[in-house]
Structure 1
Amino acid sequence: MSISNDGVAAMIQSHIPDAQVSISGDGYKYEADVISAAFEGLNTLKRHQLVYAALNAAITSGQLHALTIRAKTPAETS
């Protein structure tokens, strides 16, 4: 059983409250664009780990199978 795009976004936002999240996916493979001040000073690996931590339950249960993450700070988007 897969999880909806809105469900993935909600999980990320509950873990990173200030995040602006955009999810696209087909129920198997997802792409996440996440913008948050929480990423300030973190390298790419640490940013991805923060997003994966929000989705750990869905990953371990098999609801979320593949995820591409683009994680940026607000300053990096302007």
Structure 2
Amino acid sequence: MAEEIRHRLFEALHPVELEVLDEGYKHAGHANDGKGHFHVRIVSASFAGLSPLKRHRMVYAALEGLMDNGIHALSIDAHAI
């Protein structure tokens, strides 16, 4: 799943920095026993001039179809260049 997340974000947002971490181990015992918990740190020129909310919406749009279908929880740290 982490590779699919990376692929989609590279295709949609052309980041200069991208880190996708599987954080399922932090959520053992939670919903889905932690499976599908990810953290994304992304830096892209596509985010220039946008609010954090709009940046997050762009990330979610790039990952459409994966939310609740492989991704249970996603934390996002999105920055502009």
Over residues 24-56 of structure 1, what are the superposed CA-to-partner deviations in whole Å (9 max), with x where a residue is unaligned? 013410000000011110000000000000001
Where does residue 11 of structure 1 map in the other structure? 8
Q: Which letter does structure 1 place at the counterpart of 2:72?
A: H
Please list every run of 5 or more consecutive structure 2 residues that lacks an aligned counterpart in the other structure: 25-34
Where does residue 66 of structure 1 map in the other structure? 73
Matches within 5 A, 1:47-66: 47-59=55-67, 62-66=69-73
Q: TM-score, normalised by structure 1?
A: 0.80
Give me the identity figure in percent. Answer: 28
Q: Which is higher, the Rg of structure 1 or of structure 2?
A: 2
Query: Any idea what SS the aligned residue of 1:24 has?
Result: strand
Q: TM-score, normalised by structure 2?
A: 0.77
Please list every run of 5 or more consecutive structure 1 residues that lacks an aligned counterpart in the other structure: none
Matched residues, number: 69
